[in-house]
């Protein structure tokens, strides 16, 4: 029986991971382009190429983690020894030495490489601990709810405060404060972290066999496609809201903050409601219900014509978003459990690694969709008022396309449900 204090401590790792990663995603390029005058085109091209390299980090981290054997365990050493460098690298990203723009570009990508590499190892191993530490459905939902709460808090700090603190306090001081928050939260999480020694006793699979067995897992294949599509839907929502609230239904700064904040404010308490519901329902059903709810609610963006309507739609979206966050996390743990029954090995690292790899690669789909839209819709960034075709396009991307994407995700989840029933029947 794990105490509540240890569950909360373990879950706090999400604050550190979210604060630094969200802040990096939100302002790193902005800082180097607008403050240090590094070429935005050069950074953009570099980031596109880097995106593929970034995806490979997850595969490497997963494979290495499963094969690690130390007196500290398989997963914990990466958190123990990686947390401080993680914070230090973030600090130095926003405290660059004086130099030419070319040198700053090299500096940016060098530090980004190591920052992201360490993030991949820490993030994967904190996640891989979850299914090993918590075996019951009740514990998994409770801890997952705590994690989502802390993740949202970190997200709000990283997204909402990074730019304002950088401008008011200075970028270096902002980075130092965020780094301290992250490092402390990651070390606090170690108080609530533990490993089952039995998990590392079996001989790990070789890379080729490990990869083949992972992709032969029908549950995982259904899960990872559904997860990819759901993540695509939610990340497109984040990217498109800025355009939607500027050109389609105009929101001022305060209204826009309320709109985005409403999603998170509703999502936090809903996480605990979903957690209680999830104990009674199957995890895959929670994901399926969330998919249907999101699709229905997002249709509102096709017809919204006032700030109040947009804010209400945002608040309602917090319900299925929290359902996604909980159920997808628990579903991957269930996949690992079923695999362990089949192979006799705990391979959390490989599954979390392959999942991360596919999600990172899949994010390119989003840029492809938006690229096609910008090239064909008549959108003109120099104009304050867009042509009708562009406005209809924004409405479709944020309110219509999610329905089509989530329909496919629902079919994948239905297939997962069918495979899960067969596996449970075979093992009963």
Determine the pLDDT at residue 252.
83
Res 427 pLDDT > 50: no
Res 201 pLDDT > 60: no
Which positions ≥6 away from 423 have C-beta within 8 Å?
Answer: 219, 338
What average pLDDT does the segment 110-119 reach?
91
Determine the pLDDT at residue 303.
93
Res 404 pLDDT > 90: yes
Contact 117, 57 (CB under 8 A): yes
Determine the pLDDT at residue 111.
93
428: enclosing H helix or E strand: none
Least confident of 176-185, 365-374, 389-398: 365-374
How many angstroms separate the CA atoms of 239 and 347, rounded? Answer: 34
Determine the pLDDT at residue 158.
81
Please give the share of the chain, as a percent, with pLDDT higher than 90: 36
Res 368 pLDDT > 80: no
pLDDT digits (tens, 9 = 90+) for 232-287: 898 788 777 878 888 899 888 778 778 877 888 898 889 888 888 877 878 899 99
Matching residue, tokens 């549950």: 219
Hey, what are 365's tokens? Answer: 């789909």
Contact 146, 138 (CB under 8 A): no
Res 26 pLDDT > 80: no
Determine the pLDDT at residue 300.
95
What average pLDDT does the segment 103-121 reach?
91
Residues in the chain: 428
Res 208 pLDDT > 80: no
Question: Residue 328's closest CA among 285, 361, 365, 366?
Answer: 285
Contact 157, 35 (CB under 8 A): no
Task: Report the chain's C-alpha Rg in angstroms.
Answer: 22
pLDDT band (50, 70, 90) for residue 425: low
What average pLDDT does the segment 126-148 reach?
86
Res 351 pLDDT > 60: yes
How many angstroms separate the CA atoms of 175 and 23, rounded? Answer: 9
Determine the pLDDT at residue 428.
38
How many angstroms separate the CA atoms of 111 and 88, rounded? Answer: 10
Q: Which range among 12-16, 348-352, 353-357 has the greatest average pLDDT? A: 12-16
Least confident of 111-120, 155-164, 251-260, 361-370: 361-370
Q: Read out DSSP for 141-156?
A: HHHHHHHHHHHHHHHH
How many angstroms separate the CA atoms of 75 and 69, rounded? Answer: 9
Q: What are phi and psi of 117, to 5 degrees?
A: -60, -45
Determine the pLDDT at residue 211.
67
Contact 274, 144 (CB under 8 A): no
* Number of other residues whose CB lies within 10 A of the CB of residue 39: 15
Contact 214, 347 (CB under 8 A): yes
What average pLDDT does the segment 216-230 reach?
89
Question: Residue 331's closest CA among 207, 408, 221, 253?
Answer: 221
pLDDT band (50, 70, 90) for residue 207: low
How many angstroms separate the CA atoms of 183 and 164, rounded? Answer: 22
How many angstroms separate the CA atoms of 391 and 374, rounded? Answer: 11
Q: What's the DSSP call for residue 381?
A: T
What average pLDDT does the segment 72-92 reach?
93
Please list the alpha-helical segments (H only) found in 244-306.
253-280, 283-298
Least confident of 59-73, 128-142, 303-317: 59-73
What average pLDDT does the segment 353-358 reach?
80
Res 72 pLDDT > 50: yes
Least confident of 139-143, 200-204, 340-344: 200-204
Q: Supply the mean pLDDT for the chain.
A: 85
Contact 214, 349 (CB under 8 A): no
Contact 58, 357 (CB under 8 A): yes
Which positions ≥6 away from 132 have C-beta within 8 Å?
Answer: 75, 195, 196, 199, 346, 348
């Amino acid at each position: 029986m794990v105490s509540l204090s240890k569950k909360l401590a373990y879950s706090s790792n999400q604050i550190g991971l979210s604060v630094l990663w969200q802040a990096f995603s939100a302002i790193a390029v902005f800082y180097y382009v607008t403050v240090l005058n590094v070429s935005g085109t050069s950074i953009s091209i570099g980031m596109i190429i880097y995106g593929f390299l970034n995806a490979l980090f997850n595969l490497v981290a997963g494979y290495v983690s499963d094969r690690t054997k130390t007196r500290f365990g398989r997963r914990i050493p990466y958190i123990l020894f990686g947390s401080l460098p993680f914070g230090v690298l973030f600090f130095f990203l926003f405290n660059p030495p004086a130099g030419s723009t070319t040198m700053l570009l090299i500096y940016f990508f060098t530090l980004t490489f190591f920052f992201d590499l360490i993030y991949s190892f820490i993030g994967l191993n904190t996640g891989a601990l979850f299914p090993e530490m918590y075996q019951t459905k009740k514990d998994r939902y409770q801890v997952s709810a705590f994690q989502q709460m802390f993740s949202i808090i970190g997200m709000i700090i990283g997204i909402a405060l990074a730019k304002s603190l950088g401008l008011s306090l200075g970028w270096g001081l902002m980075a130092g404060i965020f780094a301290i928050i992250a490092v402390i939260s990651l070390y606090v999480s170690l108080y609530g972290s533990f490993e089952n020694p039995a998990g590392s006793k079996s001989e790990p699979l070789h890379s080729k066999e490990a990869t083949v067995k992972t992709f032969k897992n029908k549950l995982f294949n259904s899960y990872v496609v559904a997860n990819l599509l759901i993540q695509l839907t939610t990340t497109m929502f984040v990217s498109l809201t800025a355009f939607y609230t500027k050109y389609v239904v105009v929101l001022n700064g305060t209204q826009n903050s309320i709109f985005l904040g409403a999603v998170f404010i509703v999502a936090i308490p809903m996480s605990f409601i979903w957690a209680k519901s999830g104990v009674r329902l199957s995890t895959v059903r929670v994901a399926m219900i969330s998919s249907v709810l999101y699709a229905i609610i997002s249709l509102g963006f096709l017809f919204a014509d006032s700030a109040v309507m947009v804010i209400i739609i945002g608040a309602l979206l917090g319900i299925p978003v929290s359902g996604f966050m909980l159920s997808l996390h628990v579903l991957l743990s269930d996949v690992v459990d079923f695999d362990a029954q089949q192979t006799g090995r705990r391979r959390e690292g490989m599954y979390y690694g392959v999942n991360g790899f596919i999600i990172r690669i899949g994010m390119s789909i989003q840029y492809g969709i938006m690229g096609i839209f910008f090239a064909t819709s008549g959108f003109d960034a120099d104009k304050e008022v867009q042509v009708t075709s562009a406005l209809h396009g924004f409405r479709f991307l944020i309110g219509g396309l999610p329905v089509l994407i989530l329909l496919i995700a629902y079919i994948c989840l239905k297939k997962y449900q069918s495979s899960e029933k067969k596996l449970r029947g075979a093992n009963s």
